[in-house]
Structure 1
Amino acid sequence: MTHKLKYFAFILLLLFSMAIYAQTKVETLAELVPYLSQDNANVVLKEGTYTITVNNIKNGTFKFHTTIDNHEALVLLLFSGNNSVYDFTGVTVNVETEVLTAFKEYNEFYELQVVGNNNVIKNLTLVDVGSVYDHPTRRACNVVMDGAGNRIEGLHLSTKGSYPYGYGETFGKGGNNVINHFKHSAFLIRGYKNHAKNCTIIHRSYGHAMFMQAADEPLIEGCYIEGTMRSTDDMLAETGTGSDGDKAGFMTYFGYKLPAGYMMSLGEGGIRAYNGGETIIDGVVYNRGTSNPTIINCTVKNMRAGVTLTHATGKKYVSGTATIGCERGFCIGTGDIVDSYADTQYGPALGVDYVNDSGTNADITLLPYEGKSYNGSGHAAIIIGSDHKITLRSAVPNPDQNLKIQVGGDNRTIGLLKRDENYPASHIKLNNLTEYPVVLDENSNNTTGVSAGKVSDDGQNNHLFYKAMH
């Protein structure tokens, strides 16, 4: 090839590359829709506020469908192309909550779903506008990620609309419910190597904030999640008002009347992994659990559980993450919690779900909090199972001595008050660098380490030594 031909070929390649990555600006949401199915698109939506109503869906402007494993979903914005970038900087999309109840023929309702690969969706503000009591026909989720290698970045999501709302898990969370539930979650990650980065979720709905199903190597990074709390005292004050809780006599799905003295989130999990689910990648449906999740530099506030990865498999890694004002902070089963933080105002900073869970390696700093403690469980941490290595550090100057670090035995939470609490804990290495007291239950054995809080030992062969900080 001559020098001129090489130069011409280079120019053609350059022009072709520029054509692929040339940015297209669109003026309206309707104008954006055709680009959602294209490959190699690079689209910017004009700054402004846009609203999606029931009529917009009925006329077909925002009415897509996906079916995975016989579950058909109505989707407002379906990103099915590959290798595309969508820039929503300065854009707010309002979705009227009336749409949740208007389409009864669909089991699922998604506001945004990604089924293509290697797409970037950035800086969208997505807001549910209407009543917290507007609810889906069955269930809804604002954002669902399928496909592979996708990234949603800078999303600001305000979730609203579920039933019943205002009671947390009091009347059920699926299956056997005292009151029939219509859940609405915020952000579901499925697929392969999908990434949620620097997203904010303001969660005012009964459902999970950010959760994973059928996800392999999901990455959640730099995200802020905020729910809201309500005391069981406040719920019980509805007695005689004719509210949903009052009509149920506040008889919980646990099998007994709601107790006073607890604080409950009105949502569910902040960041949660499931051991089942379906996803679609390149047109192929996979039925599987969640594996190899990574959580980095996130904050979860006022949710039922901060970070729960118990049901995931493979390598589980949490770093630089804080749980604040949650019913429970961290619980991962097996895996690593590094340089992370939690308070104990409304529940324990750390928990373990099952006696066969082993291999939690955790380094958590316990944080101070403002206002009254409403920790009905009475625990700063609960450790059952085996072969855990736990380091608890302290940023609390005068820790509440009524809260204990429980090793074995009592795993009691609001949902376990009437069960036999006799859980074993064995071969635990505990470095309690806080002044919270430690209780080694009679079902604990071979616990080793040091504690800056006083130690009560009813177990066998434990060697946890009290070493005062002052």
Structure 2
Amino acid sequence: MRLTKLCFLSLSFLILFVSCQDARAKAKDEVVSIQKEIITVNSLSDFKKYIDKDDVKIKLAPGNYQIDQAKSIRFIAVTGNNSHYDLTGVRFMVDTKLFSRKDLAKSDDGNSMYCAIEISGNNTVFEGLYIETYGDASGLQSKNKIFNVVGEGIVLKNVEVRTSGSNPWGYGYLYGLGGGDVRKMNGIRVGYPAKNVSLIGCKVHMRAMGHAIFLQGAENTLIEDCHVDGLLRTTDAILAETSGYGFDRDFYALKPKHAHKNGYVEGTVIGLDGKILPGEIVSLSEDGIRLYPEYQGHPTKNTTVKDCSVFQMRRGICVGLNKFGDKVINCVVRDCVTTGFNVGNEDVVINCSADAKYGEAFGVPYTNAKNAAVNINILDSRNGMANNMLAKINGTGHHIVIKTGNDDFIPKDMAIKLSVWEGYGNYNSKATMHATNIKLENKTQTQVLKHSGTQNLEVESKGQVIEVKS
């Protein structure tokens, strides 16, 4: 009886303690709610008064706002911590002339890039904005961008970006790749010291040369439900010009140092003398979602790309340059020129789809890549041009599954190729191509070509498996 009574008293005390804790938590939440009472502002100047404030929730009234003045090369610098900026229904129009202003204050982070909006505060939510550049000015550099995200715990949500203001426009990477004349206008950068950043529901419409979304030295980044689109152009259309940048150069492109012996440059073949050839196609921008392996010695780690789509870019989703394994889940890539999915060391690509109209649907192109896992569905790849490779596989220890909803989607002349230079991804002219210990499940009728260097291939294939003798 005494034990029962003691248990009852203990239980009563526990209930009272938990109730008090709940009450305190509720009171704390109410205090936080009061602290973050929404403040609505009606002008850009009033909005800027709060971008360096902590623990605020700011709503800018819907409307069009012109950004044609700035004090520094980061035109709007959001440094507030634990704050929320709601710009739903707001449109920022950014004058491209700002990107060539030499009188603007430089940044103290050692990076000279110009950008429209930088978010460096921690645990900040920035959402709802539509932002675009206007004007023909191309800026002083190739590092121009719209967003630069460098804080920790930032959520960039439901923003929409439309880029313009690159030079020369209309030729993509045929001029200026790796230097030269090109001046870019990139979309969204997430870079060191960024950690635990989420890009949710963002859209980037690339109408300039540059990357749409890219990472440099960021850790634990989530890119979810985002969309990227660009524009393509045939070399026939370029060669038909009667004036302009290409015409003035007699249609000789600036041939990059890493062009293949056959003139292959980023998905497009040019003449060995650098002449632009007919019958090819060019992306007018760079990559849709791209991971750089590091930034100033700080590695890019633990990235997840989920439920995203990329259309008409150079590479669609490019995680292969990174040496750490990343995850790409349930993403769709269409009409990209160089490759749909660029895959590398320890990468996992799950339930993704791509076509091969203008470039391979996916590639694991690197000889030093190990243990990638790819499960990909091939979309309608008919009526394309300048490509007959469905997929490219190099490296060691990968598990690849290729399927399609309709065998007619894949032209009969296409092939899955192992141990090849062909296509994107090989810069070392002395490298020996190889594909070793690969498990390949080819559930399509596409032929599999085993080139020299393919060893210990475990293959199940509906299509014919052919050993190509060198």
| TM-score normalized by the length of structure 1 | 0.84
Cα distance, 1:317 vs structure 2 = 0.5
Indicate which of 379, 382, 389 corresponds to 2:399.
389
Give the Cα–Cα distance (whole angstroms) in 1 for the partners of residues 301 and 284 of structure 2. 28
Structure 1, residues 306-340: CA drift from partner, whole Å, max 9, x if none? Answer: 11112324331010001110121111202100000
Sequence identity, in percent?
26
Question: 2:199–2:222: 8 Å Cα contact kept in structure 1?
Answer: yes
Report the CA distance shift for 1:387/1:322 in structure 2 as closer, same or farther (over 3 A): same
Structure 1, residues 36-66: CA drift from partner, whole Å, max 9, x if none? Answer: 101101011101111112xx33xxxxx24xx
Cα distance, 1:202 vs structure 2 = 0.5
Equivalent residues in 2 for 1:67-466, closer than 5 Å: 74-103=73-102, 107-131=112-136, 134-138=137-141, 139-175=143-179, 177=180, 180-190=181-191, 191-238=194-241, 241-244=243-246, 246-247=248-249, 249-254=251-256, 256-277=274-295, 287-327=297-337, 328-334=339-345, 335-369=347-381, 372-374=383-385, 376-398=386-408, 399-412=410-423, 423-458=433-468
**Aligned partner of 2:348: which letter?**
D
Question: 1:160–1:205: 8 Å Cα contact kept in structure 2?
Answer: yes
What SS is found at the alignment partner of 2:452?
Answer: coil
Give aligned pairs, total.
423
Cα distance, 1:459 vs structure 2 = 6.7
Partner of 2:261: none
More strand by share: 1
Question: 1:444–1:459: 8 Å Cα contact kept in structure 2?
Answer: no
Unaligned runs of 5+ in 2: 1-20, 107-111, 257-272
Question: 1:82–1:117: 8 Å Cα contact kept in structure 2?
Answer: yes
**Aligned partner of 2:377: which letter?**
T
Cα distance, 1:10 vs structure 2 = 9.2
Runs of 4+ in 1 over 3 A off after TM superposition: 8-16, 102-107, 415-422
Give the Cα–Cα distance (whole angstroms) in 1 for the partners of residues 440 and 100 of structure 2. 50
**Aligned partner of 1:96: which letter?**
D
**Aligned partner of 1:446: which letter?**
N
Is the radius of gyration larger for structure 1 or structure 2? 2
Give the Cα–Cα distance (whole angstroms) in 1 for the partners of residues 212 and 276 of structure 2. 24
Give the Cα–Cα distance (whole angstroms) in 2 for the partners of residues 146 and 192 of structure 1. 8
Report the CA distance shift for 1:35/1:404 in structure 2 as closer, same or farther (over 3 A): same
Structure 1, residues 320-374: CA drift from partner, whole Å, max 9, x if none? Answer: 001110121111202100000000111101112321112110000000156x211
Report the CA distance shift for 1:77/1:443 in structure 2 as closer, same or farther (over 3 A): same
Range with greater deviation from structure 2 (255-264 or 444-453): 255-264
| TM-score normalized by the length of structure 2 | 0.84
**Aligned partner of 1:352: which letter?**
V
Report the CA distance shift for 1:181/1:369 in structure 2 as closer, same or farther (over 3 A): same
Cα distance, 1:183 vs structure 2 = 1.6
What SS is found at the alignment partner of 2:294?
Answer: coil
Unaligned runs of 5+ in 1: 1-5, 58-62, 65-73, 279-286, 461-470
Question: 1:443–1:459: 8 Å Cα contact kept in structure 2?
Answer: no
Give the Cα–Cα distance (whole angstroms) in 2 for the partners of residues 137 and 444 of structure 1. 47
Partner of 1:465: none
Give the Cα–Cα distance (whole angstroms) in 2 for the partners of residues 457 and 166 of structure 1. 41
